[in-house]
Amino acid sequence: MTAPRHDWTRDEVCALFEQPFNDLLAQAHAVHRAHHDANAVQVSTLLSIKTGGCPEDCAYCPQAARYDTGVQAHKLMSVEAVLERARAAQAAGASRFCMGAAWRAPKDREVAQVAEIVSAVKALGLETCATLGMLSGTQAETLKSAGLDYYNHNLDSAPEFYGEIIHTRRYQDRLDTLEHVRDAGLKTCCGGIVGMGETRAQRAGLLQALATLPEHPQSVPINRLVQVAGTPLAGTVELDPFEFVRTIAAARILMPVSMVRLSAGRAGMSDELQALCFFAGANSIFYGEKLLTTGNPDVEHDRALFARLGLCALEGDTPAAGPSHAGPDVAGACRTGHGCGHDAA
């Protein structure tokens, strides 16, 4: 097992993408097996705890107030209302609960409210993740003290493509928030979106930016653009599915220890495409009928897919390395007798 590198050049990342598909997948799968259980997938459930009305202009986002997308704005949910959803996610088999808020940057008062929610969710025995926009150092520390495990803040695109997608905050603002999050001792969940009309070199640029951060994010969500009517990116030419798989594979090779999440966009993917993504190194998904405001595959469908592929749901934290996993599966997912040691009843 070679140590993760942080000095990937753009040419090296482009060269990974340029390989024949089978060569790229073989390499990615070998890296995946060397560092992870290839049959285990971490499952998180997402909840939008504050929806819509966002002042930012992210061209992909249905929650930006300036686009007419039909999303109903909703103020911050109460602790009890979030807990109810967290309990349901836990009962369905999720090990992490991710809470999203459509803020540019929360006020201290809002961070204090979210901290209360985080403590309550954590007390259920779930891992916690939040994505609230830009954070100051003290805000990150407040969330860490409340029991937050992960903070999601994406780079979203290559630095040179970013200006075509977002004008209301800079790439450097994102890097600064990520620094505050790391400094507070939180784990980072950081990835981006593909299928926004970027070039292959720009997809490589996004991955290069992620893989050359001071620490590889522990979790790397690769989102395929969910096109929402009313957003400027609605109508963008769809990305070739094989190019999406290549992006997953390259992420796996560049950040071998990170959990790579097959994130938004699964509802529009075939089972076969998702299976290719798992083979290429994706080992985390969002589980549950909804992402933040858009759809996700049905729980029953995901359970059946896990069973057909002999996949188990990982419980608990990111595995260090190696081919073993432990813990209960998503109910009904582990019935194919693939030797994971779980009850096959």
The binder of ligand DTB chosen from 39, 45, 69, 223 (CB under 6 A): 223
Q: How far is the CB of 291 from ligand SAM (least distance, A)?
A: 8
Q: How far is the CB of 7 from ligand SF4 (least distance, A)?
A: 30
The binder of ligand DTB chosen from 93, 106, 133, 191 (CB under 6 A): 191
According to the binding rule CB under 6 A, does residue 221 interact with ligand DTB?
yes
Rounded to an integer, what distance in angstroms lies between the CA atom of residue 293 and that of residue 71?
Answer: 7
Q: How far is the CB of 227 from ligand SF4 (least distance, A)?
A: 15
345: tokens are 């009843």
- 129 given a catalytic annotation: yes
**CA-based nearest residue to 61, from 89, 97, 100:** 100
Catalytic residue among 85, 96, 203, 261: 261
Catalytic residue among 85, 96, 129, 266: 129
According to the binding rule CB under 6 A, does residue 66 interact with ligand SF4?
no
9: tokens are 């050049």
Q: What does DSSP say about strands 259-262 and 312-314: parallel, antiparallel, or unpaired?
A: unpaired
The binder of ligand SF4 chosen from 54, 222, 277, 280 (CB under 6 A): 54
Rounded to an integer, what distance in angstroms lies between the CA atom of residue 338 and that of residue 345?
Answer: 13
Which CB, 100 or 297, lies closer to ligand SF4? Answer: 100
Asked whether the CA dihedral 88, 94, 98, 100 is positive or negative, the reply is negative
Distance of CA 337 to the CA centre of its chain: 29
According to the binding rule CB under 6 A, does residue 293 interact with ligand DTB?
yes
Q: How far is the CB of 102 from ligand SAM (least distance, A)?
A: 5
Q: How far is the CB of 19 from ligand DTB (least distance, A)?
A: 26
3-state secondary structure (DSSP) of residue 130: strand
The binder of ligand SF4 chosen from 39, 45, 63, 274 (CB under 6 A): 63
Which CB, 95 or 263, lies closer to ligand SAM? Answer: 263
The binder of ligand SF4 chosen from 16, 46, 102, 254 (CB under 6 A): 102
- Write the burial class of residue 267 (CB in 10 Å: 0-12 exposed, 13-18 middle, 19+ buried): middle
- 98 given a catalytic annotation: yes
How far are the Cα atoms of 31, 146, 259, 273 from residue 187, in angstroms, in the given order?
22, 14, 12, 29
**Which of these segments, 73-81, 221-229, 276-284, 328-336, binds ligand DTB (CB under 6 A)?**
221-229
Rounded to an integer, what distance in angstroms lies between the CA atom of residue 170 and that of residue 168?
Answer: 7
Place of tokens 């930012």: 56
37: tokens are 């259980």
Q: Are 139 and 111 in contact (CB under 8 A)?
A: yes
- The H or E element spanning position 167 is none
Q: Which residues bind ligand SF4 (CB under 6 A)?
A: 54, 56, 58, 61, 63-64, 102, 104, 133
Instruction: Point out the residues that are catalytic.
Output: 54, 58, 61, 98, 129, 189, 261
Q: Which residues bind ligand DTB (CB under 6 A)?
A: 46, 62, 100, 131, 152, 154, 191, 221, 223, 226, 263-264, 291-294
